[in-house]
Structure 1
Amino acid sequence: MLKIILPMIMLLPTTLLSPPKFLWINTTMYSTLIASLSFQWLLPTYYPHKHLTNWTGIDHISSPLLTLTCWLLPLMILASQSHLQHEPLARKRTFIATLVTIQPFIVLAFSATELTLFYIAFEATLIPTLILITRWGNQPERLSAGIYLLFYTLISSLPLLVSLLHLHTWTGTLSLPILQLVHPLLTNSWPGLLSSLALLTAFMVKAPLYGLHLWLPKAHVEAPIAGSMLLAALLLKLGGYGIMRITFMTTPLSNHLHYPFLTLALWGALMTSSICLRQTDLKSLIAYSSVSHMGLVIAASMIQTSWSFSGAMILMISHGLTSSMLFCLANTNYERTHSRILLLTRGLQPLLPLMALWWLLANLTNMALPPTTNLMAELTIMIALFHWSTPTIILTGTATLLTASYTLFMLLTTQRGTLPPYLTSIQNSNTREHLLMALHIIPLLLLILKPELIS
């Protein structure tokens, strides 16, 4: 564990002391090295916890998310280069330092076996994200987006702290391996019901559940490209991971507590997909599509069968890579046309033919076409939901249909059609961007060859 966390922390002095000429090269190469080191965590294991220390341990729920975390750091640095090229050196250093600071916190949150440490890391990720959005966002609305993010997360996570303290006074420990051995933790009494509701709500806001999702499109639209990638690929997964970790502690509860969450998640997948169909803003469309995909993850992790957990896990990983890639593509369009409005950025295929290929691949994976892990995940979740209750097939089926339609709508409006008259000259796509897209799509296509790594 330390052999990844220590190099991550040492990235900070590297960022602050690298000569200006080598700043991007050093940070990208160093973080790529850490990412390749983190692949050792993916090896399937039969033990409940690998690399177990007093505070951290890795099991099959956290290892795929940890590898995803390490893998995305070099990609975020790669994606931000042209967005920061005209900024002074001090600001570049601060930007990379903020990205590097958030990384150990996410790694700790995903690998903590102590719920206090998990809570601290879960909350600490908020501050660098807030700095990224409010300092490097594009529009003046970024301050209100930051406030939305801050208050939604804080209001939901204070009850989480209270219920963790309640758990501690009741069981005397917050260590996960020990809590798994304790007899049913939260009973059907009112304190038990309320604390499990508090535990779930904090993660539902982070995931986000439909109805608690209003901070997400705002934060996504205002954030710089690295902020969007971070939010879509990692911070939303903290919610899903928290639900998967916490639900086993609330199992003896009456299932009535799960019904409203399940209903909202499935209904939300339907609603946000239909909201996507009438979006004019490209980033906003991708943000709402994240809400609909995470709705499926929440629904699956609330059923608590091994099938549904496995499907939720695969969907979290594949959604992390797919939505991150879509945000990168939206950003390459934005850097050339300086607009995110779909009507003003249409018909780019004749101008950027290679980019059109990446657009096609990203949209096909978003639609969950075979042979992508997205398809495997959605099928697994649908089967699990169908076995839990037959009528859910109507909701999931309609959501899939709507997903396909808004994804095709996004592909056709950005790539086909007549060029807007104001686009007279456009900058060519470069190797850095193609490498960025390839590093997103290659893991997605390779994982289908050995899906047990992430299930």
Structure 2
Amino acid sequence: MLKVLVPTIMLFPTIWLTRPKWLWASCLVQSFAIALVSLSWLKWSSEAGWFSSNHYLATDPLSMPLLVLSCWLLPLMILASQNHMSSEPSSRQRTYICLLTSLQVFLVMAFGATEILMFYVMFEATLIPTLFIITRWGNQMERLNAGIYFLFYTLAGSLPLLVALLVLQGDTGTLSLLTLQYTPTLQLSTWGDKLWWAGCLIAFLVKMPLYGVHLWLPKAHVEAPVAGSMVLAAVLLKLGGYGMMRMMLILEPLTKDLVYPFIALALWGIIMTGTICLRQTDLKSLIAYSSVGHMGLVAGGILIQTPWGFSGAIVLMIAHGLASSALFCLANTAYERTHSRTMLLVRGMQAIFPLMATWWFIASLANLALPPLPNFMGEVLIITSMFNWSHWTLVLTGVGMLITAAYSLHLFLTTQRGPVPSHIIGLEPSHTREHLLLVLHLLPIVLLVLKPEQMWGWCF
């Protein structure tokens, strides 16, 4: 753990002491070296389940793929931000990279925490850099409104979790993930216990987000700069799923009775957000709403608590993180050239940028869960386990998959095919930097087809 955490912390002196002309290159090289070192976590050797570096930080097969994803994303965010930050003064560029680096530090400590209270503190700490990134470097005036939505939705959901954790500490005497699974099952029978159960989960369901408490997400995505959208879609939403998986072991007796409304909301959200996507005109808004639908499927897979549901949720979280982050990068490349996110105003791009259209095609296919990509593995595992839980869920998940395919193809065809609008003249050609960025997103998705057990090793 420290072999990743210490070099990440040492990025801060690199950022502030490097000459301005070498700033982006040196930060990119160091962060990419950290990402390559983090791949060593995938070489799993511990038979005890946990691989601990000290009492507070440890990895296991559930946190390991999410840790690697967090480390992999930092160099990609630096690559994606370089162009639109180039006009800013040097001090602001350094502050921006510092915020991205601090996000990685908090995420590594959140996913690696063995104490639930430490996880909670790091879970909340990720709010601060994300809020600064959205409200300072967002594209339009609505960014302040989006930041307020993001802050208060997350805080309102998280405060009951803090109270619930303090109650749990009083009842069991420990908040360590290493020992909580061995504590006697809690006898939960009163109304207060039901409120405690809801308090433990609502923070994570808001973060995922569950349909109904999702309004902060499209606003935050649309107003954030490209790095903010990437880290929100790829990692921050996964904090909710990870927290739910950790807490589910403790909430056992009550879950069977109280879980129905949340599963119903999650499945209904897949259809509702899919139909919203079909009539979106804004490119980033469509990708943001598609994230809500995919996370609804993840929430359903976790809440039914079967090995297939859990492993499908992990696979879909990792695959969705890479695919939606790639789509946000592609939307940003179109926005930087046309200065518009309206889909009808950026159509016909295949004729101008044929190689970029290839990346659009692969990312759209990953988003609609084409076999044999890991997105498809995750969705099939979740849908199968939900069908086994209740046959009626097949209607909702089946319609949801059809709508997902429809809006993914709509996204690709509207932006890439058709006549080029007459106002598009003199566009800047695509850069090697942008192609490298997309290869580093899409190559892991393809490689995970060959070795999917790197993701679902926790469950089987």
2:43 is aligned to 43
Q: Distance in 2 between matches of 1:7 and 1:303?
A: 39
Matched, 1:363 2:352: no
Q: Distance in 2 between matches of 1:343 and 1:101?
A: 37
Q: Distance in 2 between matches of 1:171 and 1:235?
A: 29
Given that residues 346 and 415 in structure 2 are in contact (C-alpha distance below 8 angstroms), is that contact kept between their aligned partners in structure 1? yes
1:275-320 deviations in Å (ceiling 9; x for gaps): 0000010000000000000000000000111111100000000000
1:208-229 deviations in Å (ceiling 9; x for gaps): 0000000000000000000000
1:61 is aligned to 62
In structure 2, give the amino acid aligned to 1:449: L
1:132-175 deviations in Å (ceiling 9; x for gaps): 00000000000000000000000110000000000011111111
2:111 is aligned to 110
Given that residues 2 and 53 in structure 2 are in contact (C-alpha distance below 8 angstroms), is that contact kept between their aligned partners in structure 1? no
Measure how far apart 1:51 and its partner are.
2.3
Measure how far apart 1:52 and its partner are.
4.5
1:210 is aligned to 211
2:24 is aligned to 24
Measure how far apart 1:57 and its partner are.
1.2
Q: Distance in 2 between matches of 1:203 and 1:433?
A: 33
Q: Distance in 2 between matches of 1:137 and 1:341?
A: 17
Q: Which runs of 5+ in 2 are unaligned?
A: none
- Match of 1:275, SS state, is helix
In structure 2, give the amino acid aligned to 1:9: I
1:306 is aligned to 307
In structure 2, do the counterparts of structure 1 residues 155 and 186 end up closer, same or farther at CA, with 3 Å as the change threshold? farther
Quick check: 73-82 or 37-46, which moved more? 37-46
Q: Distance in 1 between matches of 2:164 and 2:253?
A: 17
Q: Which runs of 5+ in 1 are unaligned?
A: none
2:134 is aligned to 133
Measure how far apart 1:421 and its partner are.
1.3
Measure how far apart 1:190 and its partner are.
2.2
Aligned residues: 455
- Match of 2:99, SS state, is helix
| RMSD between superposed Cα atoms in Å | 0.9
Q: Distance in 2 between matches of 1:64 and 1:80?
A: 24
Given that residues 186 and 196 in structure 1 are in contact (C-alpha distance below 8 angstroms), is that contact kept between their aligned partners in structure 2? no
1:324-378 deviations in Å (ceiling 9; x for gaps): 0000000000000000011111111110111000000000111111221111111
1:294 is aligned to 295
Measure how far apart 1:186 and its partner are.
5.7
Given that residues 287 and 328 in structure 2 are in contact (C-alpha distance below 8 angstroms), is that contact kept between their aligned partners in structure 1? yes
Identity %: 58
Q: Distance in 2 between matches of 1:257 and 1:46?
A: 35
In structure 2, give the amino acid aligned to 1:41: W
2:7 is aligned to 7
1:122 is aligned to 123
In structure 2, give the amino acid aligned to 1:362: A
2:410 is aligned to 409
- Match of 1:80, SS state, is helix
Given that residues 38 and 67 in structure 1 are in contact (C-alpha distance below 8 angstroms), is that contact kept between their aligned partners in structure 2? yes
2:397 is aligned to 396
2:74 is aligned to 73
- Match of 1:448, SS state, is helix
In structure 1, give the amino acid aligned to 2:158: S
In structure 2, give the amino acid aligned to 1:371: P
The residue correspondences of 1:182-261 to structure 2 (distance < 5 A) are: 182-185=183-186, 187-261=188-262
Measure how far apart 1:188 and its partner are.
2.4
Measure how far apart 1:254 and its partner are.
4.8
1:162 is aligned to 163
Q: Distance in 2 between matches of 1:302 and 1:180?
A: 18
Alignment TM-score, normalising by the size of structure 1: 0.99
Q: Distance in 1 between matches of 2:255 and 2:427?
A: 59
In structure 2, do the counterparts of structure 1 residues 256 and 143 end up closer, same or farther at CA, with 3 Å as the change threshold? same
